């Protein structure tokens, strides 16, 4: 089983986006779990040690933490959507405050219709565009002899690390009607009277967001193409069917579940994303639910009830989609895809056409990664007192390091960096500790109720970030704990938000630690603690590291949930960038962004190096 | 020596009796194999002895020391039982070197200075001392197997437990390893319990074989006896390939039993009172082709070759005798041809009566007696 699939899996565990994990890890553990469970022999090592079994106490503690982090906030949120009282008001928790007023306001105002339509167009449009382009890249990389195809994965992984807010801003720099470099060039070269591109439109939103989720499609479809047994296609070719018929009657049906699952995930992403709808959608007067929620909680007059209704609605919608997704991937073992086995791919010799695919590939990569990074670099060197100007030869003498100097003098930037570093380190550590115990209970013990832990820890994967933010806002406005207005609410939020992927990573590595390895230690005379310390722990270490780095990197990138609950003084990096953007300090923002990107790349490289050195190879 | 008494282990809240009150003894210094199809309870029995599984009731003694007893409320943990075990997956810890793996059982037990010596000695036993510093994942299947064996033996345990140790190796390596394991066991004289579903492995490696089915021991004895005179029809079927013939109208003539079968008149051996009808086992290699001049002899029947597959060492033949298809192994030089008319002969001393499966097998698992009987017979 030591295969490219596994390798791809490992790096995506480290750098992957939450939804990548979701496909791979929901699809595979279903199969995996079914295969593993019958092998777990009876109550085994865990036979009764009486009611004072310490594991039951551990179980209870973890269960309470998870309930507090996931179930309680959602419950409060749902109640908030049907309560007439504001959070924190004394009558909020009494049944007398029940009202459908929030819902009637939401559906009665007339705004709901246009928000629904815009969200739908945005999410489906993004999904469609990203799917086509991403699948094309995956096909080029996996199935053709296009030159330099092996670089595509590197580029896509690099793209995955970039925070969405930076690439959204980059595209505004590139294609805004006033200062967009591309517009500027097009008008100069072709002598156009007016800018050809307008990023402030639904098309612009879809384009920018599609570029953002391209790597996700690439990784998912690449895995699907890679794990399709080429002999199934060869059998069709030998049976006398041509390439076209083979593709339409064999390849496509085999990959269909993966296609549908990917598209569903893309739509969920489109619904829950914040950066593009906020930065481009608001000026373009196209509003999605997520932006509406943010506006209702952050701009006066606030309407927490309405925000709760919207948050519950998109939550319900995402859960419906996830239900379809699970149905689609449940029978994954029926299809040749997603067997986890990697095959030698059957490459198509494209002949001269390979230069066409080469060109198209690098055009897409340029749009997704190259241009945004170039423009961001340019902006970071452009003098701060001159605003932002398009890239041009005349402006080159003006370039300076002033913005970088400003970064190190700016209070907000420094505060944000400290805050995010603190949040990243603590939430990663807490998250990994929590899910390691939870995964151990769900995978390696037979304690009744362990499924509850699994479900609770995995539920956040389908909770849109803003919904979670609003839920935490309601919860800590309601309970009399000194959490709201401090950095601790962000910490609790991050742990809840990133727990699902960490849980998937940890349970996958728990499954990999064969029970016999632990038993062999016991038979060799080691007690429970020694065998845990010398055998189980070292084997789990790569998984724990992967989960830790994942949470750390994503904590640095977090924006949409933080925006709902942060307060002055505890802004994380994402919020700070958003703030600087609104103040118009584009140079400062770009320099800060470049530094953040370097930090994130550094973390990912460290993770890669460590995991390749200490990663346990399967034999 | 391992003594197991009335061992019971149930799963699913008592609904599945994985090990159904079995008793047996592995005499000091010998190899006993638990043989049976998957799910027969053999691995559960071994795991109960190792302390990896808690039985419902019964008693287990290792080297005369009670390690589990429901009666005396004793249940030593796996690390207190002084056993060595080789797992089916070998369970070589992938994050350690070969040396670390093998020396693991010695840590905290042996003096620090002697650990390396003893580890290397154990590795030398399995011929791997030159690989001591290699990382465990960089070993071949056979090498991993040897490392697992070295690790199981390094602390000089009272008994050695082998859980399907050869099932992950390819056919050729399997034969080499089983010879090596047997030689190693002989030279060390360590009491060994071996679990396998492979009957030829069991026959080759054991002093005693316990055939298990549905949590019970259905036959127990020396390999030769189990093969030649299996206790019942299902045991005969499981051990080696067999022709099973129904015989009616059985009577005793001059110390040999004779009955009427579809093949014709059949002379055979049996124990106990003469039944009126029974099944008779004829092993494939006990069926020979004879010339027509022997046509009138006992247990010679005319037949016709239905098919003959050449397998290198012999022909795998199916011969139709009076409508009954008799499977045989014919020496390669005889070269039977399809639809050829032949005479087949099965010597009466190699045909043996089988008990029916529904009759409760009365299996005597007193090992001393079996070994004594075996040596008296030979």
Chain B nearest-CA distance from A534, in A, is 10
What is the CA A395 to chain-centroid distance, rounded? Answer: 37
Closest partner CB to A519 (pick from B52, B105, B139)? B52
Closest partner CB to A42 (pick from B11, B81, B139)? B11
Q: Tell me the C-alpha distance between A473 and A305, whole Å.
A: 12
Q: Does the beta carbon of A44 lie under 8 angstroms from any beta carbon of chain B?
A: yes
Q: Tell me the C-alpha distance between A456 and B151, whole Å.
A: 41
Mean pLDDT, contiguous 10-residue spans, chain A (619 residues): 35 38 40 37 41 76 93 89 79 78 80 89 95 92 86 88 90 88 87 85 94 90 77 68 73 79 88 91 90 86 85 90 77 44 63 90 93 92 77 80 87 92 95 92 83 86 87 88 90 93 85 84 84 85 86 89 90 92 87 91 83 52
Closest partner CB to B94 (pick from A42, A526, A616)? A616
Closest partner CB to B94 (pick from A44, A47, A617)? A617
Q: Identify the helix (H) or strand (E) that includes residue B209.
A: strand B208-213
Residues of B in contact with A42 (CB under 8 A): 11, 18, 53
Q: Identify the helix (H) or strand (E) that includes residue B162.
A: strand B159-163
Q: Identify the helix (H) or strand (E) that includes residue B186.
A: helix B171-188
Chain B nearest-CA distance from A514, in A, is 8
B2-51 residue pLDDT tens: 999 999 999 887 888 999 999 999 999 999 999 998 889 999 999 999 98
Sequence-distant (6+) residues with CB within 8 A of B9 are B17, B18, B19, B41, B44, B45, B48, B53, B55, B56
Q: Supply the pLDDT for residue B197.
A: 92
Q: Supply the pLDDT for residue A335.
A: 46
A374-401 residue pLDDT tens: 999 998 888 877 677 788 777 787 788 8
Closest partner CB to A539 (pick from B47, B95, B144)? B95
Read off the pTM.
0.74
Return the sign of the alpha-carbon dihedral for residues A163, A169, A171, A173.
Answer: negative
Q: Does the beta carbon of A46 lie under 8 angstroms from any beta carbon of chain B?
A: no
- The number of beta carbons lying within 10 Å of the beta carbon of residue B176 is 12
Q: Does the beta carbon of A522 lie under 8 angstroms from any beta carbon of chain B?
A: yes
Q: Does the beta carbon of A616 lie under 8 angstroms from any beta carbon of chain B?
A: yes
Q: 52-111 in B: which are within 8 Å (CB) of A? A: 52-54, 77-85, 87-89, 91, 93-95, 104-105, 108-109
| A617–B85 C-beta distance less than 8 A | no
Pair A544, A506: CB distance under 8 Å: yes
Q: Supply the pLDDT for residue A172.
A: 92
Closest partner CB to A44 (pick from B52, B81, B83)? B52
A375 sits in the region (left: phi over 0; alpha: psi -120 to 50; else beta) called alpha
Q: Does the beta carbon of A523 lie under 8 angstroms from any beta carbon of chain B?
A: yes
Q: Supply the pLDDT for residue A240.
A: 65
| A523–B50 C-beta distance less than 8 A | yes
Q: Tell me the C-alpha distance between B121 and A58, whole Å.
A: 43
Q: Supply the pLDDT for residue B361.
A: 53
| B108–A525 C-beta distance less than 8 A | yes
Structure tokens at B239: 């051990």
Q: Supply the pLDDT for residue A121.
A: 95
| B109–A47 C-beta distance less than 8 A | no
Candidate from A13-27, A95-109, B115-129, B218-232 with smallest mean pLDDT: A13-27
Mutate: best of B39, B67, B87, B95, partner A, most A CBs <10 A: B95
Structure tokens at A182: 């591309």
Residues of B in contact with A43 (CB under 8 A): 54
Q: Does the beta carbon of B44 lie under 8 angstroms from any beta carbon of chain A?
A: yes
| Closest residue of chain A to B93, computed from CA coordinates | A517
Of residues B360 and A53, which shows the higher confidence score?
Answer: A53
Q: Does the beta carbon of A519 lie under 8 angstroms from any beta carbon of chain B?
A: yes
Residues of B in contact with A532 (CB under 8 A): none
To which residue do tokens 């605003």 refer?
Answer: A387
Helix then strand then coil, in percent of chain B rounded to 5, is 30, 35, 30
| A47–B54 C-beta distance less than 8 A | yes
Q: Supply the pLDDT for residue A19.
A: 41
Mutate: best of B12, B56, B78, partner A, most A CBs <10 A: B78
Pair B236, B225: CB distance under 8 Å: no
B150 sits in the region (left: phi over 0; alpha: psi -120 to 50; else beta) called alpha
Chain B nearest-CA distance from A14, in A, is 20
Strand order in the sheet with B300-310: B287-290, B341-346, B300-310, B314-321, B324-331
Pair A212, A129: CB distance under 8 Å: no
ipTM of the complex: 0.73
| B89–A523 C-beta distance less than 8 A | no
Q: Supply the pLDDT for residue B295.
A: 84
Beta bridge partners of B288: B345
Beta bridge partners of B67: none
In whole angstroms, how far apart are CA A396 and each of A471, A475, A496? 48, 52, 46
Pair B163, B85: CB distance under 8 Å: yes
| Closest residue of chain B to A49, computed from CA coordinates | B54
| A47–B44 C-beta distance less than 8 A | no
Q: Does the beta carbon of A521 lie under 8 angstroms from any beta carbon of chain B?
A: yes
Structure tokens at A27: 């699809």
Q: Does the beta carbon of B16 lie under 8 angstroms from any beta carbon of chain A?
A: no
| A44–B53 C-beta distance less than 8 A | yes
| A525–B79 C-beta distance less than 8 A | yes
Q: Does the beta carbon of A619 lie under 8 angstroms from any beta carbon of chain B?
A: yes
């Amino acid at each position: 089983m030591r295969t490219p699939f596994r390798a791809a899996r490992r790096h995506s565990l480290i750098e992957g986006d939450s939804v990548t994990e979701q496909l791979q890890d929901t699809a595979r553990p279903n199969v995996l779990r079914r295969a593993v469970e019958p092998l777990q022999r009876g109550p085994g090592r865990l036979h009764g040690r009486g009611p004072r079994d310490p594991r039951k106490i551990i179980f209870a503690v973890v269960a309470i933490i998870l309930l507090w982090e996931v179930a309680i906030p959602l419950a409060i949120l749902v109640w908030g959507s049907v309560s007439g009282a504001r959070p924190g008001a004394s009558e909020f928790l009494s049944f007398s405050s029940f009202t459908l007023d929030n819902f009637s306001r939401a559906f009665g105002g007339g705004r709901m219709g246009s928000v629904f339509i815009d969200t739908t167009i945005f999410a489906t449009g993004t999904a469609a565009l990203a799917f086509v382009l991403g699948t094309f890249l995956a096909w080029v990389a996996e199935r053709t002899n296009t030159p330099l195809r092996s670089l595509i994965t590197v580029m896509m992984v690099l793209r995955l690390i970039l925070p969405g807010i930076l690439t959204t801003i980059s595209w505004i720099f590139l294609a805004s009607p006033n200062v967009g470099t591309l517009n500027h060039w097009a008008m100069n070269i072709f002598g156009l009277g007016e800018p050809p591109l307008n990023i402030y439109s639904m098309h612009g939103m879809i384009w920018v967001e599609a570029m953002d989720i391209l790597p996700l499609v690439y990784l998912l479809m690449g895995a699907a193409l890679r794990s399709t047994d080429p002999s199934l296609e060869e059998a069709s070719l030998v049976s006398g069917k041509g390439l076209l018929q083979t593709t339409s009657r064999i390849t496509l049906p085999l990959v269909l579940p993966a296609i549908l699952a990917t598209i569903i995930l893309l739509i969920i992403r489109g619904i829950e994303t914040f950066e593009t709808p906020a930065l481009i959608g608001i000026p373009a007067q196209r509003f999605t639910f997520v932006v509406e929620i943010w506006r209702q909680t952050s701009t006066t007059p606030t309407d927490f009830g309405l925000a709760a209704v919207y948050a519950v609605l998109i939550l319900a919608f995402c859960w419906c989609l996830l239900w379809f997704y699970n149905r689609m991937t449940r029978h994954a073992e029926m299809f040749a895809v997603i067997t986890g086995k990697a095959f030698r791919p059957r490459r198509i010799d494209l002949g001269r056409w390979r230069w066409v695919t080469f060109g198209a590939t690098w055009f897409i990569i340029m749009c997704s990664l190259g241009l945004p990074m170039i423009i961001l670099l340019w902006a970071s060197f452009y003098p701060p007192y001159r605003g932002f100007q398009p890239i041009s030869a005349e402006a080159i003498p003006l370039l300076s390091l002033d913005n970088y100097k400003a970064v190190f003098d700016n209070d907000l930037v420094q505060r944000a960096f400290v805050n995010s570093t603190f949040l990243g380190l603590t939430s990663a550590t807490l998250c990994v500790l929590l899910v390691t115990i939870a995964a151990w209970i769900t995978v390696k013990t037979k304690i009744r109720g362990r499924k509850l832990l699994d479900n609770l820890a995995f539920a956040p994967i389908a909770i849109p970030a803003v919904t979670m933010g609003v839920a935490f806002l309601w919860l800590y406005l309601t309970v009399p704990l000194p959490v709201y207005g401090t950095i601790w609410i962000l910490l609790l939020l991050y742990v809840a938000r990133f727990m699902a992927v960490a849980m998937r990573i940890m349970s996958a590595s728990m499954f990999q630690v064969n029970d016999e390895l632990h038993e062999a230690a016991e038979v060799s005379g080691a007690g429970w603690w020694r065998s845990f310390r010398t055998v189980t722990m070292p084997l789990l270490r790569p998984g724990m590291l992967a989960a830790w780095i994942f949470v750390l990197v994503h904590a640095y990138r977090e924006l949409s949930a933080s925006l709902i609950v942060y307060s002055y003084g505890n802004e994380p990096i994402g919020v700070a960038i958003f703030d600087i953007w609104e103040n118009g300090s584009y140079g400062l923002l770009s320099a800060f962004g470049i530094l953040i990107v370097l930090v994130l790349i550094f973390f990912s490289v460290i993770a890669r190096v460590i995991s390749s050195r200490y990663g346990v190879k399967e034999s | 020596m391992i003594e197991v008494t009335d061992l019971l282990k149930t799963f699913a809240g008592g609904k599945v009796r994985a090990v159904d009150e079995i008793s047996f003894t592995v005499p000091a210094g010998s190899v006993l194999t638990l043989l049976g199809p998957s799910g027969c309870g053999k691995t559960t029995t071994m795991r109960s002895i190792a302390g990896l599984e808690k039985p419902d009731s019964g008693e287990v003694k290792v080297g005369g020391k009670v390690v589990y007893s429901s009666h005396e409320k004793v249940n030593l943990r796996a690390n207190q039982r002084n056993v060595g075990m080789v797992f089916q997956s070998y369970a070589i810890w992938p994050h350690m070197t070969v040396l670390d793996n093998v020396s693991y059982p010695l840590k905290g037990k042996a003096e620090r200075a002697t650990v390396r010596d003893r580890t290397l000695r154990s590795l030398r036993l399995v011929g791997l001392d030159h690989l001591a510093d290699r990382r465990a994942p960089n070993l071949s299947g056979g090498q991993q197997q040897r490392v697992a064996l070295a690790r199981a033996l390094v602390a000089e345990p009272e008994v050695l437990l082998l859980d399907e140790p050869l099932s992950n190796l390819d056919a050729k390596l399997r034969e080499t390893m089983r010879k090596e394991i047997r030689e190693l066991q002989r030279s060390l004289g360590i009491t060994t319990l071996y679990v396998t579903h492979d009957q030829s492995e069991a026959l080759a490696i054991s002093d005693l074989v316990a055939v298990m089915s549905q949590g019970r021991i259905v036959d127990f004895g020396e390999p030769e006896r189990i093969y030649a005179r299996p206790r019942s029809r299902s045991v005969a079927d499981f051990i080696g390939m067999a022709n099973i013939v129904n015989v009616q109208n059985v009577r005793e003539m001059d110390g040999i039993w004779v009955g009427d079968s579809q093949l014709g008149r059949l002379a055979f051996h049996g124990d106990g009172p003469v039944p009126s009808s029974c099944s008779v086992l004829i092993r494939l290699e006990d069926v020979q082709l004879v010339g027509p001049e022997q046509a009138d002899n006992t247990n010679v029947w005319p037949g016709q070759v239905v098919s003959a597959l050449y397998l290198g060492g012999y022909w795998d033949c199916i011969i139709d005798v009076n409508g009954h298809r008799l499977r045989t192994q014919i020496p390669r030089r005889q070269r039977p041809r399809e639809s050829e008319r032949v005479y087949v002969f099965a010597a009466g001393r190699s045909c043996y009566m089988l008990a029916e499966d529904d009759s409760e097998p009365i299996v005597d698992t007193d090992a001393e007696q079996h070994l004594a009987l075996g040596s008296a017979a030979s």
